[in-house]
Structure 1
């Protein structure tokens, strides 16, 4: 090894380039072998690596490397998502800085700008994945808008339309007035704000002096009210159900209706129903078949003429709205409406109210429920089978998409880990609505639908095909909308494997073994992948769904750039000084006024910047946090401990190499080997460690695998065996030395393989030096080496017990030294009064307990004031000048402790009926423990008596 010190920068990029160049990440495509595959949740092309990515990629790569070492046909497919809204916003902002809008450029030129931006900046996150060590098959990398995926998306859309599962209709959707598009629930943030609750009088039409008081947080939508609802069991209003109310400021009348949606105890118990501008009201209106009155245009300004629709989406009428509000922004209209209500005597009172306001996560604008024409996928309808491309025959055939998604879970074919997420999944599926898949954007998969001048729709794979459907000389225009980003990402389990062709990859890697993802997209992505994959292939997309928690800061707060608590994983890998870190964190904030707060938080958290940790320390930290289903409070100081672990491993390898290179390490199986009980103990513990780590990885318990490996490597191999080996290497018996060298190198070689899935770089670097000396280098890379298999026959229980006794003895001597106040440089002889069983321990004690020598005797020296400790039935004495007062105090304290333990067991055994009713083995255990304690107490008492003379 050239480097005396561990330096991740010297090995990580170099090794990754070698792996990638050698094709080490690619599957062997031997279809006779067991396959293991995994799909990477495609990160946004606009994105950069964050701690959540580092966490789930550590898990995914760990699984991939583990199964590759098990000689399976392993395929981990990488890709990135075109991220429709996010990407379009990035490029539009760049154009805005030049005073240009996308409309100035036109659609074709604007899309050229996006593709150019993607070519320059879009691979940032994939390069960062390389820094983390992700062993994905880059030769199969995809982009959700590349030609292959675009063809699959079009094919899926056309087939779903042919099967009657895609339709166009007018429905209520989340609408972002700034972006001018429908958005998904995932793109809406609910922000707690302080607002008002306006209590408005709705007079009875037949008796205007009497009124119902309606409370609302959105008075501007009252222009679209179609009813006031009360609970059918509310006695206060039972006599008014069916009567007409005057809608203030409009002159319209609306009915009082009864619906159980109303909470009698909230507010006045009267709720205004505005189906075109509230999702709950939409459902109430649908039950009562009211009209839907849309009062806003797509920029959220009040219309001059409100549009009236029925629930079939057909416009049936229009209503002239009061001139005072026409053209006003919704919030300006609110202000004017409230003033007019007050002037007209309709405003009963205004109360402060805390409410959750839905806002677009990209623009911060208030989301408006808007009645618009969109494309939808039917979730609960059965597919038509008499069509050109019916669904394949399988157990899922004939089910609706929602039924398919439910059946895959209910039948146990797809399981959630932890399983409690099934409840969340089922809750969503039981309340599922048709999926709005159209977006009013330019960047994305343009919907393959064309319209003639009469509004007839032609869905086709190409414009030529649409023209054939319409007939010659029929003018067609293509739908300008694009598909929801989740539509194309729902197809990745099979679109990335060559579908619709019947490929070897589809046969080998579908279904994949596991999907690793966050809980927030269970419905948006996980459920939809199950729907689409079962529908188009007849197979489930994956067997296991491993749901991990959110990575938060060390105080449990959500990581946010504006809070200054975001940690860039690459900064942890490479390190960064404080000045550069401050510039990085305060530049480009959405809210520049937050810069001082971010600066202060950064200086507090990283007063000297971030030191170099390396990818392996970061990955081991993430693995150690991977408890099933829990959020992760990431403390970078924990990473410091695992960076020290890397140093420990590096130094251990250097020690081994210095002691075995050029020497006989037992490669020749014909030469004799004399294994000590210490060697057998380590080999036994290695078998147990192999078994525990394998079990942990098989059950996705990376935290347990990391803990097991850490304890074995740091405590048992480094702190114990390496020190004991120093003694054994001085043994004049060559067979004993050979056994020790063989144990040193072979256990280390196995440890490196066990660690490799979590810590790929340092293990590869060390393995290249260690493996040839351990007769284990059967491949060019550790990632292709065989996964260790535990051999129970190598577990020697007597050696495990004997090592436990040695550790206990060494601990007792160290405690004795501490109690006597002996400094590290003070060495004293140790006398052991015990039987011959202690002779095997004597060679190790001087080094491990800092003694000048160790002797066993049948009787301790007489007339000696040295303190005595009791361990393993033996009396231990360090022969040094004794402070009688201090030693008397120590022994008195020890005697009191022993007496309390004796009293406790005697009380237990003395309880009436205990010895008769308790299991015999427990009673026997208590009696044996009591006898041992009493023996120790007698020896301590004898020592005290000696000092009292």
Structure 2
């Protein structure tokens, strides 16, 4: 067996084992009817993307789930891939062209797309390579890309099917518009930013009552030439007598526009009157639709004011026009006030300019299977974690609006609609809709627009598995792996992706079969958002996000994974703390050192299986600590089973940390050192350590895969395989992780029945030691080993202590521990087994000790008051289970006893 080196070097270990896993195709999926399937599809990162802390969290969790599934004996698949990210990728390539002082129009559509593909082949897979550094165990042979020819055909097939089923139509409606990219945007591609601007108070004169005005407040005076009405609330008494009358637009082409009544007006905001510009505001558009008002678009697609804005504004950029419009209003006496105003403005995510609400002709989708999509979550066929997101999901479906699926881009899936040349494009009779196009293409022109990126990724769970081609589905194991098991994603795309995938699966997969057979996944885990210490979302622009690759170089991939999961409670936003990543590295070092200590302590014997190690145990030689450590290991195994059932990964990490560092390293290894010096107990003690380390490595492997793979071989758990070049079947992932029940059964077959009462007794000893250490530390004596301790205790408490005096003195760092009937004037601390006193009263500040005891008394008094209040609450007493009620009463009794002892100690100090 190779020697475990003095220090752990993660870079070398990570590089070695990932190469070995890839060479052995360790992550390849396999249809195995004898085993349950487990499947995950990766949320496809943008092809332009690089690894972020959000990716680290999301993909670490996916990898944890996949690796755990392997250890549980399931047959898993994790499907990787990337999204073509229409607007993001086109923006990147166009930016490169601008450096050459060219635009895409200099190349034309086909040549430009060749440039995009060149970029994609050169740089489009960076993030997948970075995920390998993180340890992602994807089936890389299944890597998909939303613009792959086969995948693209599936996207177009779905468009044609939905069109033929009456879900897709073309119409002129309000969209988010980017004046730079010159395309419609989804809400997800719009980032709200606080903007410091101005609020303009403008008056409009009534036509039939010269000298009487109605006032409005607006942030966009440049759109006044597009005003078609002034709206007030129908129940606002201020304007009741002028509803139906007309006012004159103060700037732009002369026009008389009506005053209308509409419930959309907020009487409390501004003046209670609202200018209605249907072509430039979503609310105004809806008001205009209700009142059959015209829509006057005063902006060109690039944000420049057009001739409908009037000769005084036409040709100006929208923001220049805003200033000029204010000047014109002031010159004409219509601008009453201009005040500083801050509000949130939508920005194009890629172009970083304010978007424009704009009326354009687009392709729209009426969502299919809405009611079934509600039922899928409401009735528990799909479970959300945390469950609260199901309410958000259902609320959105209750208020769902049609989806704008077209984008004015060149990079993407070109919409498979052709128009007859020279004919009226608005007439569907002149349309041809198919995947492959018309038989006589010379007579037709294809639609220029491409599909929204989400219109491809909503098919991801089944389109990546060969659907709808039967032969490809069989090859991909569709019937075995679908529905997928778990989706890990962010709540910010619950509508844009999660809900849409559910509707797509219900519409297209296994029509006529049960809902459970058609859903795309069974569980959805929503991660939190990673924020900095100030609570700000991490971003490149703020410069507050660390580079994950730098963190991997500094702390190792395992350290990063363990650290990030430790600070990520289920579904909650995360305050990033680099010291917790360092803590992950320290944990890995602790694991390495503990395993090295075990190797240096003696030969391991047969470690090839749990049964083989258990056969080396000698139950007759077990003491309380031996029983306790295996009982705690069994309990930790059970706790991890609960954590995985309930998707509590942070709790799982904390349970592993507490067991391994606290129970095993800090206690069991230390108390075992004496036993390992004795020939009659050494072999049994080492066998126990081998059991613990084997099970611990298996439990830890999903979280820290590299170091556990290395130690698995170094400690002989891979059998006689070479440490560095073991056969694929000897990888740790191919071992069977015993459940808590199976673990206990294996020990029983070896003749060992764990005595859990011994575990309870040991917990009392550990508390005694930790309190003794705390008392020493309180008085700056932590490093002293010559301190004497006195104890006052009941006969039962002292009997437990007396049986373990040598061990307790060694663990607490005391010269001796002796019993006293009473002790006066010494600093003390209360434990369940008795009260500990420092025999150092002469060196202790009695005044400071009194202050400490008084502070502790105040704290225990608050706890007592809280428990008493709970027991006095009839609602609690009447509804609480008997065990809970008894527990509360016992807690109160313990608290009262501790208060009495603290009062006695304080009195003893005078």
1:390-789 aligned at under 5 Å gives the runs 400-452=368-420, 453-456=422-425, 457-463=430-436, 465-467=437-439, 475-502=443-470, 503-504=473-474, 505-537=477-509, 538=511, 539-574=518-553, 612-661=554-603, 667=613, 669=615, 672-673=618-619, 674-733=621-680, 736-772=681-717, 779-789=729-739
Distance 1:244 1:193 in 2: 34
Change (3 A) 1:932 1:355: closer
Aligned to 1:172, the other structure's residue is in SS state strand
Taking the aligned partners of 1:80 and 1:627, their CA distance within structure 2 comes to: 27
Contact 1:870 1:876 (C-alpha < 8 Å) held by counterparts: yes
> Equivalents in 1 of 2:316, 2:846: separation in Å?
92
- CA deviation digits over 1:892-932, x for unaligned, max 9? 89999999999999999999x99xx9988977887788789
User: What residue number does 2:763 align with?
Assistant: 804
In 2, the alpha carbon distance for the partners of 1:42 and 1:534 equals 21
Q: 1:100 to 1:906 in 2, by over 3 A?
A: closer
Change (3 A) 1:613 1:668: closer
- Secondary structure at 1:275's aligned position in 2? coil
Deviation at 1:510, TM superposition (A): 2.0
> Equivalents in 1 of 2:87, 2:175: separation in Å?
16
Residue in 1 that maps onto 2:24: 22
1:870 to partner: Cα distance:
8.8
1:336 deviates by: 3.5
CA distance in structure 2 between the aligned counterparts of 1:99 and 1:662, rounded to whole angstroms: 69
Task: Give, in angstroms, the shift of residue 257 of structure 1.
Answer: 1.4
571 and 907 in structure 1: CA distance in 2 versus 1, 3 angstrom threshold: closer
Stretch deviating more after TM superposition (700-709 or 182-191):
182-191
Q: Structure 1 224/774 Cα, relative in aligned 2: closer, same or farther at 3 Å?
A: same
Maintained 8 Å contact 2:4/2:596: no
For residue 935 of structure 1, report the CA deviation from its aligned partner: 9.0
Task: Out of 273-282 and 501-510, give the one that drifted further.
Answer: 501-510
Structure 2 residue aligned with 1:213: 215
In structure 2, relative to structure 1, the CA distance for the partners of 1:166 and 1:459 (3 Å cut) is: farther
Q: Deviations over 1:736-793 (max 9, x none)?
A: 3222111111111100111111111111111112243899999411122212311367
The verdict on how the C-alpha distance between 1:755 and 1:245 changes in structure 2, with shifts beyond 3 A counting, is same
Q: 1:869 deviation in Å?
A: 9.2
1:462-513 residue CA offsets vs partner (Å, 9 max, x unmatched): 45x423xxxx596211111111111111110110011112424321222212
Is the 2:825–2:909 Cα contact (8 Å) retained in structure 1?
A: no
Distance 2:103 2:713 in 1: 56
CA distance in 2, matches of 1:196, 1:897: 55
- 1:190-269 mapped onto 2 (5 Å cutoff): 190-248=192-250, 249-269=252-272
Name the CA shift for 1:885/1:203 in 2 (closer, same or farther; >3 Å): closer
Structure 2 unaligned runs (5+)?
512-517, 746-752, 879-884
Cα contact 2:604–2:687 (8 A) shared by 1: no
Between the aligned partners of 2:909 and 2:549, the Cα distance in structure 1 is 62
Within-5 A mapping of 1:817-836? 824=783, 826-827=785-786
How many Å separate the matches in 1 of 2:805 and 2:418? Answer: 90
- C-alpha displacement of 1:437: 1.0
Question: Aligned pair in 2 of structure 1 residues 748, 303: CA closer, same or farther (>3 Å)?
Answer: same
Give the superposition deviation at 1:675: 1.6
Output the CA distance in 2 between the equivalents of 1:512 and 1:429.
22
The separation in 2 between residues aligned to 1:895 and 1:284, in whole angstroms, is: 70
Aligned partner (choices 169, 174, 177) of residue 175 of structure 1: 177
User: Do residues 148 (structure 1) and 150 (structure 2) align?
Assistant: yes
* Shift, 1:795, TM fit: 4.5
1:278-427 matches, within 5 Å, as 278-304=281-307, 306=308, 322-379=310-367, 400-427=368-395
Q: Is the 8 A contact 1:664 1:741 kept in 2?
A: no
- What is the alpha-carbon distance in structure 1 between the residues aligned to residue 230 and residue 898 of structure 2? 82
Q: Residues 171 and 737 from structure 1, CA distance in 2 versus in 1: closer, same or farther, beyond 3 angstroms?
A: same
1:145 Cα deviation after fit: 0.3
From the superposition, tell whether residues 292 and 405 of structure 1 become closer, same or farther in structure 2 (CA, over 3 Å).
farther
- 1-side partners of 2:617 and 2:597: how far apart? 24
2:584 & 2:654 partners in 1: Cα distance? 11
Q: Is the 8 A contact 2:561 2:703 kept in 1?
A: yes
Following superposition, the deviation at residue 708 of structure 1 comes to: 0.5
Aligned residue pair count:
857
In the TM superposition, residue 90 of structure 1 has moved relative to its aligned partner by: 0.9
TM-score normalised to structure 2 length: 0.86
Query: Helix, strand or coil: the match of 2:49?
Result: coil
- The question of whether the paired residues in 2 share the 8 Å contact of 1:80 and 1:143 is answered with yes
Structure 2 SS opposite 1:562: coil
What does 1:120-159 correspond to in 2, within 5 Å?
Answer: 120-159=122-161
Q: Secondary structure at the match of 1:237?
A: helix
Q: How far off its partner does 1:37 sit?
A: 1.1
Structure of greater Rg = 1
Query: How high is the TM-score relative to the length of structure 1?
Result: 0.82
Relative to structure 1, the CA distance from residue 700 to residue 826 in structure 2 (aligned partners, 3 Å threshold; closer, same or farther) is closer
Residue pair 2:5, 2:596 contacting (<8 A) in 1 also? no
Rounded Cα–Cα distance in structure 1 between residues aligned with 2:52 and 2:32: 35
Residue deviations 1:170-221 (CA, integer Å, cap 9, x gap) = 1111111111111111112222222223333323333343332233221222
Among 789, 798, 811, the alignment partner of 1:848 is 811
- 1-structure distance, mates of 2:343, 2:820: 81
How far does the alpha carbon of each residue in 1:643-675 deviate from its partner, in whole angstroms, 9 at most, with x for none?
A: 111111100000011113266887483884422
Q: What is the CA–CA distance in structure 2 between the aligned matches of 1:360 and 1:65, rounded to whole Å?
A: 39
State the secondary structure of the residue aligned to 2:285.
helix
Alpha-carbon distance in 2 for matches of 1:668, 1:374: 69
Deviations 1:825-863 (A, max 9, x none): 6547889897765564245245424456x698xx88999
Is contact 1:458-1:466 (8 Å) kept?
A: no
Q: Is contact 2:824–2:909 with CA below 8 Å preserved after alignment?
A: no
Determine helix, strand or coil for the equivalent of 1:348: strand
The answer (yes or no) to whether the contact 2:419–2:445 under 8 Å persists in 1 is yes
* SS at structure 1 position matched to 2:11: helix
- The answer to whether the 8 Å contact 2:827/2:844 transfers is no
Asked if the contact 1:232/1:238 (under 8 Å) is kept, the reply is yes
C-alpha spacing 1:888/1:26, structure 2 compared with 1 (3 Å)? same
In structure 1, C-alpha distance between the alignment counterparts of 2:817 and 2:297, rounded to whole Å: 97
Over 3 Å counting, the alpha-carbon distance change for 1:809 and 1:887 in structure 2 is farther
